[in-house]
A and B are shown apart, each in its own frame.
Chain A
Amino acid sequence: MVPGAVFAQSTDPGASAFIQKLGDQTIATFADKSLSREQAVERFRALLHTGFDVPYIGRWVLGRYWNQASPAEQAEYQKLFERLIVDTYANRFVDYSGQTFKIAGTRPEAGDDTTVTTQIIRPDGPPINADWRVRKAGSGYKIIDVAVEGVSMGLTQRQEFASVIQGGGGQVAALIQALRQKVGRS
């Protein structure tokens, strides 16, 4: 194999630098024991919005049902989705604190996207492969999906949400109701 021949496009070094920085900041946030859990989650929420294109992910996850939803439903869905994501990831990061990660490589994707592959090093088991799909956004970058050991978080949510909608007679309202119940508290 000719070195480099597999890459039709060159990979974007900025994308992996972006993941490195975001990862370091996230680990620092949850390692900072002077913060209460609420403060850590609040800081994480800010990081999440710096790092992830949450509105894009929300719309992508809704898939073909996005166009079926009314503007009011779209707006409420996006608000609830954001809360769900913050809750989910904040819980995850709190649970998994104590882990470190290293960048394993980058891979160009369709469009201007780059996948940054990382290994999450755990104290109590073999490393986990996490792939971050990064899209250029203005002068910076945003994550639009994460795949852990080949399992895409976005796709999992998309299929899950589709199931909720189908179970509710094909109505997006059914999903919004379920989301309200999940994240509506407090």
Chain B
Amino acid sequence: MTMASFTRPFIRVAAAVMLSLSAAGCANTPDGQDGAGISDPIEPVNRIIFGFNDAADTILLRPAAEVYVAVAPDPVREAVHSFIRNLVSPLVIANNLLQGDLEGAQVATGRMLTNTILGVGGLFDVASVAGMKDEEEDFGQTLGVWGLGSGPYVVLPLFGPSSVRDATGLAVDTVADPLRVWAYANDSKNVLYVRTGVSAIDRRSQVLKQVDDLKRNSLDYYAAVRSLYAQQRRAQINDNKTDAAPEFPVFGN
């Protein structure tokens, strides 16, 4: 705690200086607060890609996730989820460290060791039962913690909602992914394809209801997803410590 609060501002300042030199062009669009807030200069293109992703989801991913939920019993799906999460835990640890969040890095390290050893190679999430919470950390969030604004919203083919900052983060995480490094070194890229597929179905299966709900209840599905994404990323970057809630004025009539 004391260590973390000491190092964090220092790392932030150093990182902010570095980034302001290298990435001055694309930074610092404020994440949207009011109605028109989210920067989306290539909206027409984004909408086309979004439509394509949505079609791929409707035809392929959603049905696959539904079958998965119907066929695989809860414990099996939990094991798959834990296993996949455990595989990326080195990235979670690294990003916590890069964010200067030593507490987070400690928890993530504890999780990896506990689940790998006691949880039989990551199949059982023993750590969560022991109160070590699984936080998602990625390099996009790290850039955010370093003070980089999200930049314009972009919809990536198949990967879905992102931003200039988060797409950069995704590229860095992909290259740094230990499993990928291992697979390339051992000429077993098939492992990666399997992981990608399983991971996509796992993720999709966890939000079946939520996505259906959003589609059914929104007037502009694209805009609703864009808003959700921007807010969710902001909350993740702050590790759910709410900061900038929108203002709720008193309306006089």
CB neighbors of A among B107-164 (8 A): 128
Residue of A nearest to B38 (CB): A159
> Are A63 and B240 in contact (CB-based, < 8 A)?
no
B213 surroundings in chain A (CB, below 8 A)? 91-92, 95
Most buried by A among B206, B224, B236: B224
> Are A163 and B231 in contact (CB-based, < 8 A)?
no
Tell me the bound Cα distance from A12 to B223 in angstroms.
35
Known A125-B206, A152-B245: A91·B35 in contact at CB below 8 Å: no
> Are B228 and A151 in contact (CB-based, < 8 A)?
yes
Against A, the Cβ 8 Å flags (1 = close, 0 = not) of B197-240 are: 00000000010010001001111101110111001101110101
> Are B217 and A150 in contact (CB-based, < 8 A)?
no
Say if the beta carbon of A166 comes within 8 Å of chain B: yes
CB neighbors of A among B26-54 (8 A): 32-38
Residue of B nearest to A66 (CB): B251
Contact of A91 among B216, B226, B238, B247 (CB under 8 A): B216
> Are B250 and A160 in contact (CB-based, < 8 A)?
no
Say if the beta carbon of A129 comes within 8 Å of chain B: yes
A147 surroundings in chain B (CB, below 8 A)? 242, 245
B250 surroundings in chain A (CB, below 8 A)? 111
Say if the beta carbon of B246 comes within 8 Å of chain A: yes
Most buried by A among B34, B128, B209: B34
> Are A164 and B219 in contact (CB-based, < 8 A)?
yes
Tell me the bound Cα distance from A63 to B37 in angstroms.
12
A173 surroundings in chain B (CB, below 8 A)? none
B194 to chain A, nearest CB (A): 24
Say if the beta carbon of B248 comes within 8 Å of chain A: yes
Say if the beta carbon of A109 comes within 8 Å of chain B: yes
A179 surroundings in chain B (CB, below 8 A)? 219
A76 to chain B, nearest CB (A): 15
B130 to chain A, nearest CB (A): 14
Tell me the bound Cα distance from A84 to B37 in angstroms.
24
> Are A63 and B206 in contact (CB-based, < 8 A)?
no
Known A95-B209, A151-B231, A152-B231: A160·B219 in contact at CB below 8 Å: yes
> Are B223 and A60 in contact (CB-based, < 8 A)?
no
Say if the beta carbon of B187 comes within 8 Å of chain A: no
Contact of A133 among B209, B238, B248 (CB under 8 A): B248
CB neighbors of B among A93-134 (8 A): 95-96, 109-111, 113, 115, 124-126, 129, 131, 133
Known A129-B240, A149-B235: A154·B246 in contact at CB below 8 Å: yes
> Are B227 and A155 in contact (CB-based, < 8 A)?
yes
Contact of A162 among B35, B128, B234, B235 (CB under 8 A): B35
B169 to chain A, nearest CB (A): 18
Contact of A159 among B37, B128, B242 (CB under 8 A): B37
Residue of A nearest to B235 (CB): A150
29 A-B interface contacts by CB (under 8 A): A56-B251, A60-B248, A63-B35, A87-B217, A109-B248, A111-B248, A111-B250, A113-B248, A115-B245, A124-B74, A126-B128, A133-B245, A135-B248, A145-B246, A147-B245, A150-B235, A150-B236, A152-B231, A152-B246, A155-B246, A156-B224, A159-B35, A159-B224, A160-B223, A161-B35, A162-B35, A178-B219, A178-B220, A179-B219
4 nearest A-B pairs in the assembled complex, by CB-CB distance: A150-B235, A162-B35, A163-B223, A159-B227
